[in-house]
A and B are shown apart, each in its own frame.
Chain A
Amino acid sequence: MSGDKHFNADKIFIALIVLTALEVAWGLAGTDWNKTMLWGGLLFCAFFKGWLIAVYFMHLKFEGKVIYSLILPTPFLVMVIMGYVGSDVANSDAPYDHPVGSMKSVETGDIKENLHDIWHAHAEEAEAPSAP
């Protein structure tokens, strides 16, 4: 095995737990907040936790150039994917014009709000005896 890989795992663990608790509190408390503030805080916590896990638990801090050269292109490729995704998102004109969780009738154009009720209605129709 290569090198001395000892670090204080307990401190990293406590940091991860505290960050997770902070993140959950932030996410639940901030439902009415500005989206940028809410998502910014959540992403900061998530990426900081990910960084701690990768650098310490996965020993990236102690690895050599070969492993870095293997893993470093990946964030770049992820950014390429997100770049393409971003252009798709930017050109989207929200084709689903009814809320998620509802259904739009093809015949009448009516929007039914609760999918659960719709499924039950379909199930009752299916169970009902058909007319002779």
Chain B
Amino acid sequence: MSDSIAVYDPEVDAPAHHHPVYDYDSGPPVERGKFAIWLFLATEVMFFSGLIGAYIVLRSAAGSWPDPAERLAVNLTAINTFVLITSSWLMVKSLFAAAAGNQRGILFWLGLTILGGSLFVGIQVYEYFELYAHGASPRGDIFWSTFYIMTGFHGTHVVVGILWLICAWIKAAKGAFTPQNYLGLELAGLYWHFVDLVWVLLFTIVYLF
């Protein structure tokens, strides 16, 4: 903090008009965006914990529970899990490209990440249509209610993530991310990895347990 006072040059740094000059920063000692996204992700952890907790209570209260492998297309969803994990890895590649100042690399890897996420949503929508055509509606029984609630909320998060990544791609196309500042891309990536992390747990609990 003392350094910032020492380098303050009134000839250069004097504020326009009568804006006040502060010699301290009242914010957290990390980027505000990063602080905010981690705080948001903490609330998201609690949100999904509530859903999983409700699932555990309902499943335990049921006299029996169907084998998920008999009702759900586990193999198809396993492929979908690979797709989401791959898109998470592609996101990391995009961040590495940003850190290296590789503008084309950012667009390429981020574009593939968006494609991966879109493929995940497409497969999930296909799964929903197939299940519904076979009479598996959310009102069917408690298995289907919990299945649609948990995977549906996660799918909504994936859609939001894709929209966020598209915005980041547009910003990247305008050259907004430099090796010195690519925080916007990093924040989108944090959300995307979180969505991947949640799916890893949901896939295990809903499809394999």
Contact = CB atoms under 8 A, between A and B. Distances in A.
Contact of A53 (B67, B180, B182, B200): B200
Contact of B78 (A5, A24, A59): A24
A46 B29 CA distance: 33
B38 A70 contact: yes
A36 to B, nearest CB: 12
A97 interface: yes
Interface in A10-46: 10, 12-13, 16-17, 20-21, 23-24, 26-28, 31, 39, 42-43, 45-46
A50 B39 CA distance: 18
Interface residues of A, number: 59
Interface residues of B, number: 66
A89 B69 CA distance: 24
A20 B86 CA distance: 12
Interface of B: 28-31, 34-35, 38-39, 41-42, 45-46, 49-50, 53, 56-57, 60-67, 69, 74-75, 78, 81-82, 85-86, 88-89, 91-93, 95-96, 99, 134-135, 140-143, 180-183, 186, 189-190, 193-194, 196-197, 200-201, 203-205, 207-209
Interface of A: 1-2, 5-6, 9-10, 12-13, 16-17, 20-21, 23-24, 26-28, 31, 39, 42-43, 45-47, 49-50, 53-54, 57-59, 63-64, 66-67, 70-71, 73-74, 77-78, 81-82, 84-85, 88-89, 92, 94-101, 115-116, 119
